[in-house]
Amino acid sequence: MERENVERETALVQNRTAEAHLQFVEEELERRREEARAVPGESSNSSDVTG
């Protein structure tokens, strides 16, 4: 019983962590899209180019 509770709690924490990370990634993606729209003539992936 105790092990099942620990496994359940672990799964809940992992789920919350994944949801928080997904929200962060979605917000970051939207921010980058807005930045790309704000700069005319710039490619949306120009910031990803390393050289």
Q: What is the mean pLDDT of the chain?
A: 88
Instruction: Compute the residue count for the chain.
Output: 51
For residue 4, the model assigns a pLDDT of: 96
For residue 40, the model assigns a pLDDT of: 79
11's tokens? 């799964």
Check residues 40 and 27 and name the one with the higher pLDDT.
27
Average confidence (pLDDT) over 13-39: 97
Radius of gyration of the chain (CA): 19
* Residue recorded with tokens 């939207």: 30
pLDDT band, very low/low/confident/very high, at 10 (cuts 50, 70, 90): very high
How many Å apart are CA 39 and CA 30, to the nearest integer? 15
pLDDT surpassing 60 at residue 18: yes
How many Å apart are CA 48 and CA 42, to the nearest integer? 12
Ordered by start, the domain boundaries in the chain are: 2-35
